[in-house]
Structure 1
Amino acid sequence: MQGRSAERERIERLLDGARQGTSGVLLVHGEAGIGKTALLDHAAARAEGWRVLRVEGIESEMELAFGGLHQLFLPVLPLVDTLPPPQAEAVRAVFGLSGDGVRDRFTVGLAVLTLLSEAAADGPLLCLVDDAQWLDQPSVDMLTFAARRLRAEGVVMLFAVRDGAPGAAVKGLPQLLVEGLDRAAAAELLPGLPPYVADRVMAEARGNPLALIELSAALTPAQRAGQLGPLALPEAAAGLPSRIQDGFREQIRRLPEAARLVLLVAAADDTGDLTTVLRAAAALGAAVEDLEPAERAGFLLLSGAVVRFRHPLVRYAAYQGAPLARRIAAHRALAEVLGADGQAHRRAWHLAAASTGPDDLVAEELERVAEWAGSRQGMASASAAYERAARLTADPLLRARRLVLAAQRAADAGQDERCGALAGQVTVPLADPGVTASLARARAVVELGYRRPETAARILLDGAEATGAGRPDMVASLLTDAVHAAWSAGSAALIGEVAARAPGLPVLAVPARLFPGDVSGAPAVTGGPDGPRAPDVPGTPGACDVPGALDALGTLSALVAGGRATEAGLMDRLMTGIYGQLAGDHAAAREAATAAVAHCREQGVGGWLPTTLHLLARTELALGRLDEASAHATEGLQLAEYYDLAHRAAHLRATLAMLAGLRGDEEQGNALAGEALAYTRPRGVGRGTADARWALGLLELGLGRAGAALEHLESARAEGDHPLLALPLLADLVEAAGRAGRPERAAEPARLLGEWAAALGQPALLAVASRCQALTGPDGTAEEHFTAALTLHEGGSDYERARTALLYGEWLRRLRRQIDAREQLRGALESFDRLGARPWAARARAELAAAGGETGLTAREDGPISLLSPQEREVVRLAAAGASNREIAAQLFLSPRTVGHHLYRAFPKLGISSRTELASLLAP
Structure 2
Amino acid sequence: MTLLDRAPERAALDELLAAARDGRSGVVVLVGEPGIGKTALLGYGVEAATGFTVARVTGVESEREWGYAGLHRLLLPLSDARASLPQPQRDALAVAFGQVAGPPPDRFLVGLAVLTLLSRVAVDAPVLVVCDDAQWLDRASVEVLAFVGRRLLAERVVLLFAARPDLDADLTADLEHRTLPGLPAADAVSLLTGVDRALGLRIAEAAGGNPLVLAELARELDRGATTPDRLAGVPLLGGPLPVGRRLEARFAARVGALAASTRTFLLVVAAEATGDAGVVRRACALLELEGWDAVVEDAVRSGLVVAEPSAWAAERFTFPHPAVRSAVYAGGSVALRRRVHAALAAATPDDDRRAWHLAAAVEGPDEGVAGEVERCAGLVGARGGHMARSALLAMAARLSPERADHDRRLVAAADAAVTAGAVAHARDLLDRLDPGSAEHPRALRLRGLLDEDVSLLVDAAGGLVGEERTAALLEAVDLAVVGGGPIESVASAVGGGHLGAAGLVLESGAALLSDGFVSAAPGLRAAVRAVRDVDVAGRWCLLGLLSAVELWDEESLGVCAARFTASARDRGEPRALLTALSALATWEVFCGRLTAAAGHLTEFAETATAAAVRSPLAGAADALLAAWRGDRVDTGGTGLRAAVARAASMVLDLGHGRYQEALATGKAVLDERPAHWGGAVLADLVEAAVRSGDLATAQRALRDLTDRAEASGTPWARGLLARARALTSEDAEPHHREAVDRLGRTPLIPDLARAHLLHGEWLRRRRRRAEATTSLRTAHELFTGIGATAFAHRAEQELRAAGSSPRPAVAAPRAPETAPHPAGTDPRAAGTDPRTTGHPAALPRTAELTPQEARIAALVADGATNQEIATTLFLSVSTVEYHLRKIFRKLDVTSRRQIRLVLR
TMscore range, shorter length: 0.7 to 0.9
Match of 1:366 in 2: 373
Instruction: Return the match for 1:324 from 321, 331, 334.
Output: 334
Say which SS state the counterpart of residue 126 (structure 1) adopts: strand
Residue matched to 2:386: 379
Q: Tell me if the contact between 1:30 and 1:36 (Cα under 8 Å) persists in the aligned partners.
A: yes
Offset at residue 632 of structure 1 (A): 3.2
Distance 1:512 1:100 in 2: 32
How does 1:337-736 map onto structure 2 within 5 Å? 337-338=347-348, 342-431=349-438, 435=439, 438-447=442-451, 451=452, 455-456=453-454, 458-468=455-465, 472=466, 474-490=468-484, 493-494=488-489, 496-502=491-497, 507=502, 544-545=518-519, 549-550=521-522, 552-563=523-534, 571-572=539-540, 574-602=542-570, 607-646=575-614, 649-666=615-632, 669-670=633-634, 673-674=635-636, 677=637, 680=638, 686-715=639-668, 720-722=673-675, 725-736=677-688
Contact kept, 8 Å, 1:140 with 1:168, in 2: the verdict is: no
Q: Is 2:753–2:783's contact at 8 Å kept on the other side of the alignment?
A: yes
- State whether residues 56 and 131 of structure 2, in contact with CA within 8 Å, keep that contact through their aligned partners in structure 1: yes
Q: What displacement does 1:128 show?
A: 0.8
Deviations 1:415-436 (A, max 9, x none): 34433433343323443xxx55
CA pair 54-711 structure 1, distance change in 2 beyond 3 A: farther
The whole-number CA distance in structure 2 between the counterparts of 1:556 and 1:782 is 36
Q: What 5-or-longer segments of structure 2 have no aligned partner?
A: 812-830, 832-841
Q: Does the 8 Å contact 1:634/1:656 carry over to 2?
A: no
Aligned partner letter, 1:687:
L
Relative to structure 1, is the Cα distance of residues 739 and 657 closer, same or farther in structure 2, using a 3 angstrom cutoff? Answer: same
Letter matched to residue 689 of structure 1: A
In 1, distance between residues paired with 2:762 and 2:218?
87
Deviations 1:287-346 (A, max 9, x none): 3312223322332222142222222222222222333333333222222211xxx22211
Change beyond 3 A, Cα 1:508–1:322: closer
Q: Cα distance, 1:92 vs. partner?
A: 2.1
- What are the superposed Cα offsets for residues 616-666 of structure 1, whole Å, 9 maximum, x if unpaired? 3333333434344333344334334444543xx231322222212322343
- Give aligned-pair identity as a percent: 36
Of 706, 721, 743, 1:769 maps to 721
Distance 1:746 1:475, change over 3 A: same
Q: C-alpha deviations, 1:67-111, integer Å up to 9, x for none?
A: 211211111100011011111122222223334444443322211
Q: Deviation at 1:355?
A: 3.7
| 1:113 CA displacement | 0.9
Per the alignment, residue 135 of structure 1 pairs with 137
| TM value normalised by structure 2 | 0.88
Residue aligning to 1:922: 903
Match for 2:876 among 895, 898, 905? Answer: 895
Q: Which amino acid aligns with 2:893?
A: I
In structure 2, which of residues 250, 253, 265 is the aligned counterpart of residue 250 of structure 1? 253
User: What are the Cα deviations for residues 778-818 of structure 1, in whole angstroms up to 9, with x where unaligned?
Assistant: 5x433433222111111320011112223333343444443
885-894 vs 623-632, which moves further = 623-632
* Equivalent residue runs for 1:735-750 within 5 Å: 735-738=687-690, 745-750=697-702
1:276 corresponds to which letter in structure 2? Answer: V
Q: Distance in 2 between matches of 1:266 and 1:59?
A: 13
How far 1:561 sits from its partner (Å)? 4.7
- Residues 194, 224 of structure 1: 8 Å contact kept: no
Q: What is the DSSP-based 3-state SS (H/G/I as helix, E as strand, rest coil) of the residue aligned with 1:121? A: coil
Shift of 1:741: 6.2
Q: Which residue of 1 aligns with 2:890?
A: 909
C-alpha displacement at 1:580, in angstroms? 2.0
Structure 1 residues 818, 713: closer, same or farther in 2, change over 3 A?
same
Aligned pair in 2 of structure 1 residues 344, 871: CA closer, same or farther (>3 Å)? same
Aligned pair in 2 of structure 1 residues 311, 655: CA closer, same or farther (>3 Å)?
Answer: same
Question: Which stretch shifts more, 797-806 or 236-245?
Answer: 236-245
2:860 to 869, 876, 879: 879
Match of 1:760 in 2: 712
Distance 1:610 1:332 in 2: 46
CA distance in 1, matches of 2:808, 2:101: 65
Report the residue type matching 2:550 in the other structure.
Answer: L
| 2:844 and 2:902 in contact (8 A); partners too | no
- Give CA-to-partner distance per residue, 1:696-724, whole Å, 9 cap, x none: 444444445444444445555566545x6
Is 1:260 equivalent to 2:263 in the alignment? yes
- Mark the CA change 1:659 to 1:721 in structure 2 (over 3 Å): closer, same or farther: closer
Give the residue type in structure 2 aligned to 1:477: A
Work out the CA distance in 1 between the residues paired with 2:640 and 2:663.
18
Work out the CA distance in 1 between the residues paired with 2:512 and 2:36: 66
306, 316, 337: which one pairs with 2:316?
A: 306
**C-alpha distance in 2 between matches for 1:347 and 1:504:** 41
- What is the aligned residue count? 862
Aligned residue for 1:128, secondary structure, equals strand
Q: Deviations over 1:44-75 (max 9, x none)?
A: 22211111111111112223332211211111
8 Å Cα contact 2:24-2:157 kept in structure 1: yes
Flag the 1:165–1:725 CA change in 2: closer, same or farther, 3 A: closer
Q: TM-score, normalised by structure 1?
A: 0.86
Encode CA deviations 1:545-584: one digit per residue, 9 max, x unaligned: 36xx42x445444544555x9xx88755543332222111
AA of the residue aligned to 1:877? A
- What CA distance in whole angstroms lies between the structure 1 residues aligned with 2:436 and 2:563? 39
Q: What is the CA RMSD across the aligned residues, in angstroms? A: 3.2
Moved more, 261-270 or 836-845: 836-845
Q: Which residue of 2 aligns with 1:527?
A: none
**Aligned partners of 1:574 and 1:593 also within 8 Å:** no
2:603, 2:703 → 1: CA distance? 38
What SS does structure 2 have at the residue aligned with 1:193?
coil
CA pair 517-828 structure 1, distance change in 2 beyond 3 A: closer
CA contact (8 A) 2:552 2:712 kept: yes
Match of 1:788 in 2: 738
CA deviation after TM superposition for structure 1 residue 157, in Å: 0.7
Contact 2:266 2:299 in 1 (8 A): yes
For 1:252 and 1:167, locate their aligned partners in 2 and report how far apart those are by CA, in whole Å.
35
Q: 1:460 to 1:94 in 2, by over 3 A?
A: same
Are the counterparts in 2 of residues 560 and 569 from structure 1 also a CA contact under 8 Å? Answer: no
CA apart distance, 1:195: 2.5
Provide the secondary structure at the position in 2 that maps to 1:890: helix
What do the CA deviations read for 1:357-395 (whole angstroms, capped 9, x no partner)?
Answer: 323222222212211111111222212211222222232
Contact 1:152 1:898 (8 Å CA) reproduced: yes
- Counterpart code for 2:474: T
Distance 1:28 1:700 in 2: 49
Amino acid at match of 1:460: L
Cα 1:514/1:396, change in 2 over 3 Å: closer
Aligned to 1:201: 203
CA gap of 1:463–1:358, structure 2 versus 1, over 3 A, is same
SS at match of 1:176: strand
> Does the Cα contact within 8 Å between 1:786 and 1:804 map onto a contact in 2?
yes
Compared CA separation, residues 354 and 761, structure 1 to 2 (3 A) = same
Shift in Å at residue 127 of structure 1?
0.7
